[in-house]
Structure 1
Amino acid sequence: MTRLRPACFISTGSVLIDLPLHVGRFPAPGGAVTGVSSGPMVGGGYTVVSAVARQGTFAALAATLGTGPNSAQVRESMRVDGIELLVEELVGDIGTCTTLIEPSGRRTYVTTEGVEAEPQREDLERLDLMRGDWVHATGYDLVHPSSRAVLVDWLLALPPGVSLVVDLGPVQPDIPDEVLLPLLRRTSLLTGNHLEMTRLAARMGAIEEIREACPDALLVWRTGGSGCVLWPVGQDRAEVPGFARDVVDTTGAGDTHTGVLVVGLMDGLDPVAAAYRANAAAALAVARVGPARAPRREEIDALLRQG
């Protein structure tokens, strides 16, 4: 069968509007603090798909948007980044995530729910998936009852040749075994930060049990400024060094890393080379404020030339 389009990265991760507030301290119960706002930003599942699009790779969103102003802000970002929306909108609007950011970097989140929690099965079943495509899913959507009820069966039924990348995130402990274990068996790339993967290993009993649960997956431990650790199928674990940069905001760095890593694999790079590019992208992202600040391909190339 002749391919009618290039390979595509498709994210099912729900999109929110981030409302970051920098505060001097977290308020005591009943107290008050003054926060400094950098304004509303498109975040949530948008960060990873924008990271892919900024590499010049075909990227699309299969997450529900609404008819309100929050969704309009997302659509404007999609227009700028060249991202296609693959599903129908619903009447209503997507939610927000207000983040209190303390000087230490500790974050406290308050999230409101909107139509992003209501993926439509018929929309997903209409997607024309092809060999070479990558589908992205997040733990947040696997925890929420309404989105989990739709997404899990669809993800498990992805056609052969379509790769699945899963980022379980900090909510991994809340994903039931009957959901988690079948998804891990279908996963092509499992990624998480060091704490998240350590907690998953504790849940499974040992790091080796993660490998057994994901027989066909590239495993990725993101280790911040140190880079990442890879465990490809049938190979030993390998450390891939990171890049030293002043950290301004770590929001979205993990999603940036994931998006650029997948692009490298889609480009035919071996996992180590793809991860090295992803480490460079994450280093550039943390030097900027906001969740969706992934660098473009040429910016990563310039950093790699510096060595």
Structure 2
Amino acid sequence: MSTDAHPTPEGAQSGRGRAPDTEWRSWHARRLETITAPYGPLSLTGTHWLDDHPDGRIPAVPGVWVQDGEEIVLTAAAADGLTHDGELLSGSVRLTAHHGPIPESPLAHGDRRLVVLRREGLRAVRDFDPHAAARSAFQGIEATPYDPRWALPGRFRPYPEQLSVRVRSADGRERGLGLSGEVVFAYDGAERTLRAVVEGDGSLGIVFADATSGDTSYRFRFLRPFAPAADGTVTVDLNRALLPPCAFAGHFICPFPPPGNTLGFAVPAGERRLIGG
């Protein structure tokens, strides 16, 4: 699943063994470091879909970008100032989707990092600028301090095979969202379920909303529980509810919660919304 669906590993739970409230504070500090990093989500200034630019010219980005099968052919002159693998680009280069850390993207324009994105057969160019206005305007994340009542025991029930459902994304388009199973837990005397995907590291990825969404919390949030134990048991720690990348920059294409992932009760825990937002 894409990083627009779930945060990078810094957003996952880690460092078991310490007191939960101590670990939560460390987790929150790491989150802030990730968010405010030069090429963190606040630095995304554009996601440019090539289908929207049939002539290959993206107004905000130098060069000519043309999709050719699974690749993009970028043609640029030295005067465009683009570099590839640290060398000034003069001519053409073939590019594939970049899945690594943003600072390691081979394509740059000054301090900016340009990243090729692939979604459902379509290609886009993302522009990460450490001088983005959102970085300097950022005031912090409103987050509720750790409360043990929101660390709930649960169980992961995998589906016989992965499902794909169509959900609306933050950019208004509908896309497929893969689901591997559901997490079952009890709250207020009733069984609750949240549909999830198993991430590459074994952790679970959940997109959910609750009774605070769009009011005292952002309109939806993410959750990254640890990998379930061999018997399927897992902790649903809502203290680790995360703001999605699109809360920090409107150019992300985060999926909305799939059917069944809107909780009917309030979750006043975890990351809630941007301060001053």
Could you say which structure has the higher helix fraction?
1
The alignment's TM-score, normalised by the length of structure 2, stands at 0.25
Could you say which structure has the higher strand fraction?
2
Using CA pairs under 8 Å that are at least 6 residues apart, name the structure with larger relative contact order, 1 or 2: 2
